[in-house]
Structure 1
Amino acid sequence: MKPINFLIVLTMMISIGCRNEIIKNKVAEAVRVKITPIIEEKISIPVHSTGILSTREEIRLSFKTGGIVAGIPVKEGERVKKGEIIAILNLSEIDAQVNLAGIGYDKATRDYTRATNLFADSVATLEQKQNAATALNAAKSNLDIARFNKLHSKITAPANGVILKQFVKTNELVAPGYPVFLFGTTGKSWKITAGLSDRDVVKINIGDSANVTMDAYPGTKFTAIVDQVGKMSNPMTGTYEIELRLSETDYRLASGFVTSVEIFPAKKESYTTVLVGAIVEADGHEAYVYVYTDNMAAEKLKIEIVTIIGSKAAVTGIPEGKKQIIFEGAAYLKNGMKVEIVR
């Protein structure tokens, strides 16, 4: 029996030794990691959009009266000087109206003179004299209207600028007030019109700053200020239009440039932020990070990235009570693995 007892004892000792070795190996398998705090802070998340550049002053130029266009000596895109004639109507009908009004005024003047003389000789009554005076004033008004219409039967450049768009051609018949040109003043004053969703437009206020980039000048950042915020959505796009005033620049710009706009709302909101380096997987806005449990096991959490600002990411989805997140060593972890925190 003694040999049997010896074997039993030996087997138990080997079993205990193996168990201790397994425990040692499990302890040795703990991944050494460093942690970083999860911070709640107020930050301003930029709003991004695409806009169109244009001059701040754009005017639709038209004729006061209708008629046949006699000549347009300028072309679309051409620069013009203040006072330069850029379109004129055929004046045949308008000159006839001025001539007719002039004849009527001359007749009314003679009638009034005659009535005044006759009234002085007690031949005409006071009423006749007053009626002649009224007719003279009406004829004078008609002449003024005809002359005014002739004056505005040509279009002159209201300032130094450029013909942005031409809507009619020579010999076409245009109605009174119908736009002939879209005119933009030249200078260093430019604006950007962009569309925002309802979720973004409520974050924007007049005076908010913005960065602007253009395909025409890659790598160059321009600055702008929000000048107007639309109160009604565009029925075609469903977006709310905002207008930004571009800061003065010496770069050569042109209406129609496509711009990328990054607006920084003055109002800050509270967000949970973590270091970007703590994120182990990401697909769009969906990402994963690791925290640790009370028994020092790694726990993989699914989060949503709101935005990235520098080395930080504003996120949602981290449970309340979690104050720290695994930073260094997170790339080597799997869910449930033991961790050892290195201070």
Structure 2
Amino acid sequence: MSNAELLKQLRIDHAQRESHGGGNGLKVAIIVGVVVLVLAIGAAVAWWLLGTKALPVQTAQATAPTAQSGAGSVLQATGYITARRQATVSAQITGTLTEVLIEEGDRVKKGQVLARLDDNGYRASLEATKASALAAGAQASQVSAQLEQARRDVIRADALAQRGLVSKQSAEQQRATTDALVAQLRSAQRQAESAQSQVNVAQVNYDYTVVRAPFDGVITDKAAQVGEIVSPLSAGGGFTRTGVGTIVDMDSLEIDVDVNEAYIGRVKPDMAAEAVLDAYPDWKIPAHVIAIVPAADRGKATVKVRVALELKDERIVPDMGVRVSFLDARPVRAAAPPKGVLVPAKAIVQRDGHDVVFVVADNRARQHAVTPAAQSYGELRLVPSAVNAGDTVVVSPADELHDGAAVEPAKTP
């Protein structure tokens, strides 16, 4: 029976009041008691459901500060991982791909074959030029043999002329024949050299049908498939590929950051820095400034700064987002890390006029009163006590979150 129906039964006509005053009074008292009991039970159930329903929250982990954290950063900036050495590899001639030997993620060595083009025409041209070179060489050898014979004939003719057995004119004619053969030999030799040059050209064109890696690296993009036409020049129609794939030298990775021109004076060459990838927020990578590019972006009012990574790792890939903290140039290695833990600044909220942090334990939010340090570390604040390293804290807790409330940490996508 609903509350409305119970209340409806409380209505008593005037006639019933007059005729049954005593009995109806008892009945009314019973009904009122039942209604009050039902309402009390409903309120208790609603309070229990609301009190035990888990509240979704964003969380982060409290981390212990390092000595460099104690040194403090003079500036923070965001940027991206870039490769100073990368290339889109293409063929130097136009042709049809017959083999593509790469896939994304493959590691290749300098000179390794990446793809092959149809080489039938170039092979035939190479064989033809080789045959022409052989013929030219044979012609030069033939003339050389004739010249040797002519030179011996000149010697004999001179000897006979001195003895008067032949005329001097005959000896001179033999000498002229020898000179003519010398000229023919020179011409044949030049033709042989020209034919060999044609062989070299044909060999180069034939070698162009094989696409090789220009340096050691990793394939980040496969741009063509077997059967497609590749060309070093764009055909404009969209049916010709201008590259086979992209290769990146992972040892050349560095960071490009845009620093507001109002703060660029704080950055110096060779300045120590610390990089944190957006993908790995708990991983601090030592770095240093390579150079400050002497040009400003008028639209963004920023100056580009190149930052070198002092640690190479397979997890670092091009175009990753990264946050760079430029550290104080004063020596910090001997400094002791500050006492306490670092938590996101948004995890510290006000409750009853006090700074508190909610620590998640057993899916319950436990309120801890804290006194944050005055010094900040970017988006982090130092909490000297009440929170331990490794504790899970609630970021930007809602106003309705209270001590002991059930919470459900949001899953990381």
Shorter-chain TM-score above 0.5: yes
Alignment check: 8 A CA contact 1:204 1:265 kept: no
Correspondence 1:317-336 to 2 at 5 A: none
Q: Distance in 2 between matches of 1:257 and 1:58?
A: 16
Following superposition, the deviation at residue 259 of structure 1 comes to 0.7
1:253 to 313, 316, 319: 316
1:91 to 119, 138, 149: 119
Paired amino acid for 1:130: R
Q: Please say if 1:48 is aligned against 2:81.
A: no
Equivalent position of 2:200 in the other structure: 144
Q: Please say if 1:153 is aligned against 2:217.
A: no
Following superposition, the deviation at residue 229 of structure 1 comes to 3.1
Following superposition, the deviation at residue 234 of structure 1 comes to 6.5
Paired amino acid for 2:248: G
Q: Distance in 2 between matches of 1:85 and 1:252?
A: 27
The structure whose residues are more often helix, as a share, is 2
For structure 1, list consecutive stretches of 5 or more residues without a partner in the other structure.
1-42, 268-308, 313-343
Following superposition, the deviation at residue 163 of structure 1 comes to 0.4
Q: Distance in 2 between matches of 1:232 and 1:95?
A: 51
Following superposition, the deviation at residue 97 of structure 1 comes to 2.5
1:59 to 78, 82, 87: 87
Q: Distance in 2 between matches of 1:106 and 1:144?
A: 13
Q: Aligned with 2:96: secondary structure?
A: strand
For structure 2, list consecutive stretches of 5 or more residues without a partner in the other structure.
1-70, 151-176, 234-241, 331-373, 378-413
Identity of aligned residues (%): 21
Query: What root-mean-square deviation, in Å, do the aligned CA atoms of Structure 1 and Structure 2 show?
Result: 3.5
Q: Please say if 1:244 is aligned against 2:301.
A: no
Q: Aligned with 1:77: secondary structure?
A: coil
Equivalent position of 2:106 in the other structure: 78
Equivalent position of 2:277 in the other structure: 214
Q: 1:215 to 1:44 in 2, by over 3 A?
A: closer
Q: Distance in 1 between matches of 2:304 and 2:142?
A: 65
Q: Distance in 2 between matches of 1:228 and 1:205?
A: 8
Runs of 4+ in 1 over 6 A off after TM superposition: 234-238
Q: Deviations over 1:260-315 (max 9, x none)?
A: 12234759xxxxxxxxxxxxxxxxxxxxxxxxxxxxxxxxxxxxxxxxx9379xxx
Q: How many residues align?
A: 229
Equivalent position of 2:227 in the other structure: 171
1:135 to 191, 196, 206: 191
Q: Distance in 2 between matches of 1:237 and 1:143?
A: 56
Q: 1:85 to 1:55 in 2, by over 3 A?
A: same
Q: Deviations over 1:212-269 (max 9, x none)?
A: 11122112211212223323457997754332210125563222221112234759xx
Paired amino acid for 1:175: S
Equivalent position of 1:182 in the other structure: 246
Alignment check: 8 A CA contact 1:205 1:265 kept: no
Q: Distance in 2 between matches of 1:75 and 1:125?
A: 61
Q: Distance in 2 between matches of 1:169 and 1:56?
A: 27
Q: 1:149 to 1:245 in 2, by over 3 A?
A: farther
The structure whose residues are more often strand, as a share, is 1
